[in-house]
Amino acid sequence: MSSLVKRPLSRRLVEGVARRGLRAVNSRMIVPPGPSRELPTGRLLSEEHAVTRRLFARLSNKHIASVERAIGNDAHLTLQYTAEQEPLAREQLILTFGAWVKDAALLERTGLRTAQPPEDVHTMARGPLAAAGGLYEADLIADALASAGVDLAEVSSALDFGCSSGRVLRVLHAAYPQTSWRGCDPNAPAIEWASANLPGIDFFASADAPPLALEDASLDLAYAISIWSHFAPELGLRWFAEMHRLIRPGGHLVCTTHGLTSVAHYAAAGLRSADQSREISDALYRRGWWYRAEFGRRGDWGVTNPDWGTAFLSPEWMLTQLCPRWRVLEFAPGRNQDNQDVYVLQRV
């Protein structure tokens, strides 16, 4: 629990943000529109950004200049490229725009792929800034593991649990091709698209509830971005038990949840009302979780499951439920895009 107290959020702060930041909305969530078309930002703590750096290091100055020439021929890309001042964002942009303009040398050197899911296939991000895949999320996982002393380069078998159409796996597979990468998701069209377009990764459709068709202790690592932020607590606990079965003793699970930082995040963005923000923070303080089946009858891109909605979990609830079967190596409130909390768990 090295960083449990890194950035404590007081109840007064959360409620203050909720009061100040809100537009007048009703007490239900307003679902944010569509997949993101922006470069994600947020706090990555270790300053390593191992995945972006690893891929970028494969490029020579000649390759970089060739991508920069292509960017210069496109007004929209130029605007985004010149607006970015951060050195890391420049590396991300060269990689992602290089994939977008299909720069042959860059693709060959990095192993990144150009296929993009069509509009009717689920993905969390689209457009030029997402063309290489989830660079930000891949860095997030590598950095979270690095904070806990784990090097992704030493992982031999890994699962992206709830991988959608594989935006994160495609980046990790390019950066660490020696690892055996698997991804699963109940969204069958997303898995079908990923299997057909992202060779070298083992994708399979999974059920809403455990088990997965994998052997006991067959994984060194599983990660799950925005997955336990959606499970009703009972189902979430069953999936933690399943991860415990699948991950070998000493292996790791990286997962994100909504916590108090998310309450402040949604309130400030006007996506949840003051009343509901208070209801959620009260539930977190009093019993450790809040859950609503918010996807409605059509489900989440066709995934209909009453136990798949929106969940908020407190770190106290996580510790009480998970320990001693898991060791909590890292807890970083809001580390994922200043919204979701990131946990690194070690299977005991």
- Residues at the site binding ligand SAM, with contacts judged by CB under 6 A: 122, 124, 134, 137, 161-164, 167-168, 185-187, 206, 208, 225-227, 300, 303, 308
**Please, what is the minimum distance in Å from the beta carbon of residue 207 to ligand SAM?**
7
The residue among 162 and 251 lying less far from ligand SAM, judged by its C-beta, is 162
Work out how close the CB of 187 gets to ligand SAM at its nearest, in angstroms, rounded to a whole number. Answer: 4
Identify which of residues 17 and 303 has a Cβ nearer to ligand SAM in the complex.
303
Packing angle, helices 135-147 and 167-175, rounded to 10: 60
Here the tokens at position 110 are 């990095």
Nearest approach, Cβ of residue 168 and ligand SAM (Å): 6
Task: Point out the residue whose Cβ comes nearest to ligand SAM.
Answer: 162
Of the chain, the end-to-end C-alpha distance in Å amounts to: 15
Contact 32, 226 (CB under 8 A): no
In angstroms, what is the minimal distance from the CB of 275 to ligand SAM? 25
Shortest distance (Å) from residue 184 CB to ligand SAM:
7
Cβ neighbours for 59, distance < 8 A, ≥ 6 positions apart? 94, 106, 109, 110
Beta strands 247-257 and 289-292 are unpaired
d(CA 317, CA 289): 7
Give the nearer residue to ligand SAM in terms of CB position, either 85 or 234: 234
Q: Please give the radius of gyration of the chain, using alpha carbons only, rounded to the nearest integer.
A: 20
Residue 65 or 196: the one with the smaller Cβ distance to ligand SAM is 196
Apex 91 CA angle, 145 and 169, nearest 5: 45
Nearer to ligand SAM, 279 or 300 (CB): 300
Closer CB to ligand SAM, 270 or 306, in the complex: 306
CA-angle at 313, arms to 26 and 1, nearest 5°: 145
Please report how close the Cβ of residue 28 comes to ligand SAM at its closest, in angstroms.
19
